[in-house]
Amino acid sequence: MVSRQLLKPVITDVMFKGMHFIIMDSPAADTVQTFAKLLLRKECSRLRVSDVIRVCEDKYPIEPFEKVGIKVHHWEFEDGSFPPDDILEKWFELLRLRFYGPKKTPSGDGNGNDNSHPGSVAVHCLAGYGRAPVLVAVALMELGMSNQEAIELIRSKRKGAFNDRQVESLRNYRARNRLRKNLHQCIHPLIQHPSAEYLESPVNFGPPELPTYTCGQGVNPGHPPTYAHCGHGCFNQYKLSCG
């Protein structure tokens, strides 16, 4: 019989600039029920997990998490590697939604907790020492932490995190402020436009340069929209149309 101690997830708690991350190991098919209950209701109720990001192969059913109001996202990528761009974009989009969007609490909470609390997002790979902490480290960098500080912080909390290949990728990673809280509001007046609409989907603009704005639709119905971005390094993306 599996002991109660072995059923508990090995949790690492990381908080920075209002975002709350949980790094953990993967549950197995016979332990997923306990994982879900611990993450939401028992030992870790203070963590208020809204989402679980699974970046390894599928080894358990997601229904036990869904029953307690936790959404599971399956974003698998190669073991021991750095996440590809499409995974990073989904990761940043989820974090902006959960921490900067309308406040939401997992529906299965039911314990009288403060529903205004943004909660936390959990990430796991198989053992929780490679792919999962890499995603959290990249988020810390996009929030303004230096590359080396992010690596050292996570390693201080989760001994043995990252392999040499991942450390090298993290050291070379160039953050682009993609988790700045007011990402849809450029801080540079030069490119502000009253009818600018922030684009969730990235558009490839090439090297940053000062954009020239024109009306995206004008008086011509069917005139294609004009896309532009901030040339000061914000990498904000806008679709312009008539106000």
Q: Which two tokens stand for residue 174?
A: 């160039």
Q: What is the pLDDT of residue 47?
A: 75
Sequential DSSP letters for the chain:
---HHHHS---EEEEETTEEEEEEPPP-TTTHHHHHHHHHTSTTGGG-EEEEEE-S---S-SHHHHHTT-EEEE----TTSPPPHHHHHHHHHHHHHHHHSS----TT--S---TTS--EEEEE-SSSSSHHHHHHHHHHHHTT--HHHHHHHHHHHSTT---HHHHHHHHH-----TT-TTTTS-S-GGG--TTEEE-SS-----S--------SSTTSTTPPPEEEE-TTTT--EEEE---
Sheet holding 49-54, edge to edge: 12-16, 19-24, 120-124, 49-54, 71-74
Does residue 167 sit in the same domain as residue 73?
yes
> For this structure, is 125 an active site residue?
yes
Does the residue 75 lie in any domain? yes
Pairing between β-strand 49-54 and β-strand 120-124 as defined by DSSP bridges: parallel
Does residue 168 sit in the same domain as residue 87?
yes
Q: What is the pLDDT of residue 7?
A: 56
Q: What is the pLDDT of residue 174?
A: 95
Task: Return the CA Rg of the chain.
Answer: 20
Q: Which two tokens stand for residue 6?
A: 């072995």
- Residue 72's CATH number: 3.90.190.10
Does residue 81 sit in the same domain as residue 161?
yes
Does residue 166 sit in the same domain as residue 223?
no
Pairing between β-strand 12-16 and β-strand 19-24 as defined by DSSP bridges: antiparallel
Does residue 16 sit in the same domain as residue 103?
yes
Does residue 130 sit in the same domain as residue 186?
no
Does the residue 225 lie in any domain? yes
Structural domain for 199, as ranges: 182-243
Does the residue 139 lie in any domain? yes
Does residue 62 sit in the same domain as residue 99?
yes
What total of structural domains would you count in the chain? 2
Residues of the chain with pLDDT under 70: 1-8, 40-45, 103-118, 182-243
Q: What is the pLDDT of residue 182?
A: 65
* List 30, 79, 86, 242, catalytic entry: 79
Does the residue 196 lie in any domain? yes
* List 125, 186, 230, 234, catalytic entry: 125
Does residue 152 sit in the same domain as residue 195?
no
Q: What is the pLDDT of residue 142?
A: 96
**How many Å apart are CA 210 and CA 193, to the nearest integer?**
14
The pLDDT tens digits of the residues spanning 179-217 come to: 987 654 443 333 333 344 444 333 333 333 334 334 333
Does the residue 177 lie in any domain? no
> For this structure, is 109 an active site residue?
no
pTM over 0.85? The answer is no
Start-to-end Cα distance in the chain: 66
